[in-house]
Amino acid sequence: MKNTLKLTVSDIAVIGIMVATLVGGKMALSFLPNVEVVTLLIILYTLCFGKKVIYAIFAFICIETFLYGFHLWVIMYLYTWPLLALITYVCRKKTGTLFWSFLSAFFGLFYGAFCSIPYIFISGLPGAFAWWIAGIPFDITHCISNFALAFVLFKPLHSTLTRLYGKVSSGQMSNY
């Protein structure tokens, strides 16, 4: 499932599980402002499943849109989450929890800056800049929580996903 975009039945099942955990993880933590596991999960899914994570990302965005309605955040999701997957894919040879924790923190810290891009077209560069600056306290929370979640959960989740992917790709999961 790693490098080709051609889908098998097994790929579709795994993508469904990825989407379910992205949506479920986001909903489970939605009561905490700017604390989410989507960043960590997209990093992990990109490392474990390669380019096919893009299917899960766009399905996640579709489900979120059905749940919460279309608004400007949908456009932001359409480029922020694939951007994270791209950055992760480019850095996929990196190892170590600390690297992925810092990447996750960086993404959280600059998430508001990434999301301010549509505001350039709506209210000009000064409006986009003001929108980003107003959200910096939330970005700091996002940064800290992303770092903490990745630092604690990256290694055990990566290990589990890698082990399960090996079973799925070798056909051993059919025994369950």
Q: What are the sequence ranges of the domains in the chain?
A: 9-175
**Which of 107, 117, 24 lies closest to 75, judged by CA?**
117
Residues in the chain: 176
pLDDT digits (tens, 9 = 90+) for 7-49: 889 899 999 999 999 999 999 999 999 999 999 999 999 999 9
- Please state the rounded mean pLDDT for residues 50-56: 95
State the pLDDT at residue 174: 47
pLDDT band at 176 (very low <50, low <70, confident <90, very high): very low
Domain covering 9-175, topology: Arp2/3 complex 21 kDa subunit ARPC3 (1.10.1760)
Cβ burial 60-89 (10 Å sphere, 16+ → b, else e): bbeebeeeeeeeebeebbeebbbebbebbe
pLDDT digits (tens, 9 = 90+) for 98-155: 999 999 999 999 999 999 999 999 999 999 999 999 999 999 999 999 999 999 999 9
- For residue 66, the one-letter residue type is F
Which DSSP state fits 3?
S
State the pLDDT at residue 6: 82
State the pLDDT at residue 2: 53
State the pLDDT at residue 85: 98
This prediction has a pTM of: 0.91
Contact 155, 101 (CB under 8 A): no
Say yes or no to pLDDT of 175 above 90. Answer: no
Say yes or no to pLDDT of 173 above 60. Answer: no
The 10 Å Cβ neighbour count of residue 133 is 13
pLDDT band at 4 (very low <50, low <70, confident <90, very high): low
